[in-house]
Amino acid sequence: MTQIDLREGLLRNLAKADKVSMDRIFLLFKRYNTSEDDLLRFNEFCQIICPVDGKDANTLHSRGNASIDEKHVINHFMKVLEEAIQVEVNFEAIRQKLRERKEFDVGKAFLTMAAEQRLASSSLIKFVTPGDIAQLMRKHDHLDDLQPLDISLLMSRFDLDMDGRICVNEFY
């Protein structure tokens, strides 16, 4: 589906127009259109609405074909899409604020996160691992604030090819 198809579908299903502006939908496509062809494919769409946590995904799958109220499902589906769009809007606001900070260097931030690799070797650092994120959070006394799933959720946000690590291109 195209960005226009998605917007029209959302508006037909009672989404508020301000929540589905083309700018907001563009941000959603920027994040999830991994094929970069301006068409949201089924597998890309599933990444938006399917839970990252396998346990939650299994719970949804185990419900089978139980009798459901279609309007209720559509309402929840719309909420999920609106939340996904809002997450992208929030991330874009963070990106914009970081760009405005003259002292912020994305490359240095990536190298700071890749602490596990820096300790292991002096070769070129190519990716950030879940261990790197945990170590960074531990260093700044935030690891105790996190649930085990939090690092997985953070990884899923940036690990576009889902190989279990964040490469430089995914980080930027």
Cβ atoms of 159 and 113 closer than 8 Å: no
Cβ atoms of 149 and 135 closer than 8 Å: no
Give me the residue spans of the domains in the chain.
3-100, 106-171
Q: Output the pLDDT for position 105.
A: 82
Q: Is the pTM of this model over 0.85?
A: no
Q: Output the pLDDT for position 131.
A: 83
Q: Output the pLDDT for position 143.
A: 76
Instruction: Name the class of domain 106-171.
Output: mainly alpha
Q: Output the pLDDT for position 47.
A: 81
Give the pLDDT of the chain (172 residues) as one tens digit per residue: 898 888 888 888 766 666 778 888 888 888 888 888 989 888 888 888 776 666 766 776 666 665 666 677 777 777 888 888 888 888 888 888 888 888 888 778 777 777 666 666 656 677 888 888 888 888 888 878 777 778 888 888 788 888 888 887 787 7
